[in-house]
Chains A and B, each alone.
Chain A
Amino acid sequence: MIVGDLSRRALAERLSDGGLRLRTGPVVNRIQSRLPSVLDGIALHYADHIVEDDEGFADFHVRVAPPTNARRWIAPQVRFLFDGASPFLPLPANQAFAMLEWGLNWCVSSHCHQFLIVHAASVAKAGQALLLPGDPGSGKSTLCAGLVSRGWRLLSDELTLLELATGRVVPLPRPISLKNASIDAVRRFAPEARLSAPVHDTAKGSVAHMKPPTESVHHAADTAQVRWIAFPQYQSAAPARLHPLSRARTFIHLADHAFNYDVHGRKGFELLAQVVSDAHCFAFEYGVLREAIALFDRLASRA
């Protein structure tokens, strides 16, 4: 069963009662919330995702709920609970779905040490993955949204999971988080993409999420070999350009962008070395999304 099979009422009941056991790639999240905005967000963005059995195992038990204090009547807030504890400060109530997304990211980056986790968007074509590691503002999510709107498979927008035994990317296709100017940029570039209404004044500015493509969710079990690594940097009006980056420098940058490189010790070193050895490595700057997508399409067509 997938989320889209559930009526709104049935989805609301699961979220309110025992929790919705939502599979996202290799993990199962048990999500509880009575908030309509969380229900709406899940109904839109996770419509294609598998719902696991009510009694089945869940990796993460999370809840998005208002704090139980008087403030809820003055300036409503929400908090994210993990195993009943609240690891973050509350946020304004209109950021409930975004908070769920950020919380689920935190669950993975803090706990899924069966993978080497890189702060990178990743997409694939013909089973070959393009990694886009980058800091906030680098344009990686915009690029990711553009690429998946033009036939690339979404592996992950934010957390690229590298399988320890093979170095292959394990897909974690979840909503793509777009911020500020990139929201309209993606709307213009891909009018057919399904975006949530932007939420303003978050810690990251205005935020909207883009529904992951159905095909990407259906292929969430298909790992991909890292073929290209490109560190994007958005620069207004800059022509799309790939600059070869040495493997040694790529390694260091990739380690810097990994959440748990240190956790894995020598295994992490060996794994990154293998991934870098097998990949073409670049720094990438772009200012026009259309040009950027065309460039990566050409790159993939030569593979």
Chain B
Amino acid sequence: MSMSTSPALRWRSVPSEAIAWREWDGEFVVRNERSGSTHLLGALAGQVLKVLVAADRPLSGADVEQRFAAATGHSLGAAAEIDVVLGEFGRLGLAEPAPA
């Protein structure tokens, strides 16, 4: 019997020009130009969004963690937590899942 795992969902952010943000002391406020909504993001969500906006291709939670670690030498946290953040971005219209 063969076992298969579904590939991790990959996400891309809305274009960088559709987002305005400010960071103060590790917290972020983000304005989504497409929805007109403004959101308060904690440190993890803010860093995830930064990585996602800078990415040249859709990223999974593991990809985000890898890129953050490569850039900063620090870990963002468990990929599962990052996946939750990415799902929340999808709900807020800050990111969307890329076709497999």
Chain A, interface size category, equals 10 to 19
Given the complex, which residues of B lie within 8 Å of A261, measured CB to CB?
A: 38
| A265 with B36, Cβ < 8 A, contacts A248-B27, A249-B27 known | yes
B56 CB-CB contact with A under 8 Å: no
A189 CB-CB contact with B under 8 Å: no
| A266 with B22, Cβ < 8 A, contacts A248-B40, A252-B38 known | no
**Apart from A255-B38, A265-B33, 5 more pairs, CB < 8 Å:** A247-B24, A249-B27, A251-B38, A262-B36, A277-B22
Residues of B contacting A: mostly: strand
Beta-carbon nearest neighbor of A253 in chain B: B40
Chain B, interface size category, equals 10 to 19
| A277 with B38, Cβ < 8 A, contacts A252-B29, A266-B33, A269-B31 known | no
CA distance A251 to B24 in the complex (A): 10
Q: Of A249, A262, A265, A273, which is within 8 A of B22 by CB?
A: A273
Which 5 A-B residue pairs are closest in the complex by CB-CB distance? Answer: A248-B27, A247-B24, A269-B31, A273-B22, A252-B40
CB pair B38 A269 closer than 8 Å:
yes
Number of A-B contacts (CB under 8 A): 43
Mark A265-303 against chain B: 1 for CB-CB distance below 8 A, else 0: 110011001001100000000000000000000000000
A interface with B by C-beta (< 8 Å): 246-249, 251-252, 255, 261-262, 265-266, 269-270, 273, 276-277
Chain A nearest CB from B23 CB (Å) reads 8
CB pair B28 A266 closer than 8 Å:
no
Beta-carbon nearest neighbor of A250 in chain B: B24
Given the complex, which residues of B lie within 8 Å of A273, measured CB to CB?
A: 22, 29
| A249 with B40, Cβ < 8 A, contacts A266-B20, A273-B29, A277-B24 known | yes
B25-53 CB contacts (< 8 Å) to partner A: 25, 27-29, 31, 33, 36, 38, 40-41
B interface with A by C-beta (< 8 Å): 20, 22-25, 27-29, 31, 33, 36, 38, 40-41
Given the complex, which residues of A lie within 8 Å of B24, measured CB to CB?
A: 246-248, 276-277
Residues of A contacting B: mostly: helix
Chain B nearest CB from A269 CB (Å) reads 4
CB pair B40 A266 closer than 8 Å:
no
CB pair A251 B22 closer than 8 Å:
yes
| A251 with B29, Cβ < 8 A, contacts A265-B36, A269-B38 known | yes
Chain A nearest CB from B30 CB (Å) reads 9
CA distance A25 to B89 in the complex (A): 43
Beta-carbon nearest neighbor of A273 in chain B: B22
21 intermolecular pairs with C-beta atoms under 8 Å apart: A246-B27, A247-B24, A248-B22, A248-B23, A248-B24, A248-B25, A248-B28, A248-B29, A248-B40, A249-B27, A249-B40, A251-B29, A251-B40, A252-B38, A252-B40, A262-B36, A266-B20, A266-B31, A269-B20, A269-B38, A270-B20
Chain B nearest CB from A271 CB (Å) reads 11
CA distance A265 to B33 in the complex (A): 8
CA distance A273 to B22 in the complex (A): 7
CA distance A248 to B42 in the complex (A): 9
CA distance A21 to B38 in the complex (A): 39
Given the complex, which residues of B lie within 8 Å of A252, measured CB to CB?
A: 29, 38, 40
